[in-house]
Chain A
Amino acid sequence: MTLSSDGTGASFGRQADRYTFSVKIDPALVSKVSALASLDLTDTERRAMAEQLSRVVEFFEALKDIPEELLEDSESSRVLSLRTDEAGGCLDPAVVESNAPEFAHGHFVVPRVVTRDGPS
């Protein structure tokens, strides 16, 4: 069975059997993406994520079967309308401080980021 020309064929439910990976989600790619997301993963986590995300992304490949001419460009397909972006009120600094892990002299405290030799 194949999907119909408008991507609505009844075989969609079996697509996971039909598609081959166009992107290989391997532990190396998971490492690269996890670095972008500031997440450390153990080797076990990395392998499990690679296996699970491969299945998920393979399933998503079906979107490629929808003909290009049916799709508008993303600018004209915007779903949301937004009000004017205007500055509003701010939280009381004392409330902000009460939730901060570390706070001093009106600032959030973080590990040193600049040293005599430049950025740490």
Chain B
Amino acid sequence: MRGESPADLLDGSFLEVARAVAAGRTTARALAELALSRVAKAQSAFGAFISTDPAATLREADAVDRRARAGEPLPLAGVPLAVKDNINVAGRPSTAGSAILAGFVSPDNATCVARLVAAGAVVVGKTNCDAFGMGSSNENSAFGPVKNPWNPGRVPGGSSGGSAAAVAARAVPLSIGTDTGGSVRQPAAFCGLVGWKPTYGRVSRYGLIAFASSFDQAGALTRSVDEAARAFSVMAGVDPKDATSLSTPVPEVESDPPPDLRGRKVGLLAEAESPAGAEGGGLHPDVKASFEEAGETLRSAGAVVTAVSVPRVRFAVPVYYLTATAEASSNLARFDGVRYGARKGDSSLAALYRETRSAGFGPEVKRRILLGTFALSAGYHDAYYGRAQRVRALLARDFAEAFREVDVILCPTSPEPAFALGAKTDDPLAMYLADVFTVPASLAGLPAVSVPSGFSRDGLPIGMQFIGPGDTEPLLFAFARVLEGASGALARRAPGAVS
């Protein structure tokens, strides 16, 4: 039987951590002290973190212990939490992985952070990420790349690479990230974790540093589906501070018993066999094998498994990179050296803007701003941005059609397992195509869950993604539990895990 030392608890499910703290069998402070020690090791080994504030963490842990002793129900009592550095935590720096936000200290908590803290979670650090969430490998951070705890020569995925590495390295059992086009799901797949994005609007965007507002969503990374569901329960809910927040009831994802999956229809995405732009014309063979095996596993569990087509998913990458970069070019106009962050140049106001932005933004952020500005500029708007918006709507209709045939769609989260550091940094198009399976759900505002489905022949995690109609998170988590159970992923530990 697993013990109840802080080390044992941090290596297990955080649901047990919360129970132990609530029952007084351990303390949030003891867990926070150990987590801080592991965070330092994960930072040293993998570059997973950008900042910590140990004194604040211990203060907040003590406050949780007081609340627990007073009998307050805390579904995340004492759970150490890592927060992607483009999500605001009151009184702590938020850099979004970019030099242009040097010196910025968040005035308040993002709503999703406030909800997690209210539930008893303790923030132990801010995690490294691609600048402004722009990247699929966590190689676009002003604070250096993040390495994958399963193999330090591989990327952890992006843009929430630090959040993924932090959980895979067992520094923390729970991290949160932002998912604009797959930035939670793809790192989860690369690092052997569960990662979800909600139905658009289900989790507040307030306090997220905006990249592309019609896509940006907060999600969580955990080792198990049950923990993922708990994080969803806590983070989801209406927020008047977010103009796009959903006011409808939050779906119940922790119901006991969970939804009966017998007879439910799973559609294997037909277009997954030949992803757009894939070199060699198809999936990595180990991912393909895992995809087929996942179909068999679901069939064995009583689901009706069939093929389903979402025809315009083939156009998802161009549509995403035209619309998201257009939104980014507008959102990032606010970084001008006047109100916060770094400042450079004082010969004129225009020079201040130019010099601040030119020195503060990294190459990928500049590339996306230029692409988005181009797509929106006179003479090109209708052909690029306008057309992409209309194809986006067509893709959403394709999904609606597909969901008349099946309850959920299954496809790989990524066409390949974690690739080598540096493998795609000189080829932006190749990097963008790494998102081919994650951007479709983002474009249509649909919920999606990535869950470990197995391992490649060289020991790298592989993830599968369930996509459903809006508000079907309970079904997605239930299906994810089936693959989780069959994959054996929960029993495996990343070779780089710290202790």
Interface residues of A (CB under 8 A from B): 6-8, 10, 12-16, 22-23, 25, 29-30, 33-34, 36-41, 45, 49, 52-53, 55-57, 59-60, 62-64, 66, 70-74, 76-77, 79-83, 85, 88, 91-92, 95-96, 98-102, 108, 110-111, 113, 120
Contact = CB atoms under 8 A, between A and B. Distances in A.
A52 B426 CA distance: 9
B377 A66 contact: no
Nearest to A25: B374
Contacts of A62: 315, 318
A29 to B, nearest CB: 8
Contacts of B390: 71-74, 77
B428 A56 contact: yes
Nearest to A55: B429
A12 B391 contact: no
B312 A37 contact: no
B377 A33 contact: yes
A96 B373 CA distance: 29
A72 to B, nearest CB: 6
Contact of A71 (B353, B394, B396): B394
24 contacts: A6-B311, A13-B277, A33-B374, A36-B377, A38-B354, A41-B358, A53-B370, A63-B322, A74-B390, A74-B393, A79-B396, A80-B214, A81-B244, A82-B243, A99-B103, A99-B340, A101-B337, A102-B343, A108-B339, A110-B338, A110-B349, A111-B346, A111-B352, A113-B348
Given A38-B350, A49-B370, A99 B318 contact: no
A23 B380 contact: yes
Contacts of A108: 338-339
B314 A12 contact: yes
Which residue, of B201, B275, B373, has the highest number of chain A Cβ atoms within 10 A? Answer: B373
A79 B445 contact: yes
Given A53-B371, A56-B321, A59-B429, A71 B349 contact: no
Given A33-B377, A66-B394, 10 more contacts: A30-B370, A33-B373, A39-B369, A45-B363, A52-B367, A56-B429, A63-B391, A74-B386, A79-B393, A113-B348
A13 B311 contact: no
Instruction: For chain B, give the interface size range.
Output: 35 or more
Contacts of B354: 38-40
A32 to B, nearest CB: 8
B339 A96 contact: yes
Given A7-B315, A12-B314, A113 B349 contact: yes
Contacts of B336: 38
Contacts, number: 188
Given A39-B361, A63-B391, A100-B339, A34 B370 contact: yes
Given A56-B321, A56-B432, A101-B341, A36 B277 contact: no
Contacts of A15: 277
Contact of A39 (B214, B370, B444): B370
6 closest A-B pairs by beta carbon, nearest first, are A77-B393, A101-B343, A8-B311, A71-B390, A99-B340, A60-B318
Contact of A63 (B107, B315, B358, B373): B315
B243 to A, nearest CB: 5
A101 B274 contact: no
B46 interface: no
Contacts of B240: 83, 88
A70 B391 CA distance: 9
B366 interface: yes
A96 B105 CA distance: 10
A6 B398 CA distance: 12
A22 to B, nearest CB: 8
B308 interface: no
Which residue, of A16, A37, A45, A92, has the highest number of chain B Cβ atoms within 10 A? Answer: A37
Contacts of B361: 39
A86 to B, nearest CB: 9
B347 interface: yes
Contacts of B147: none
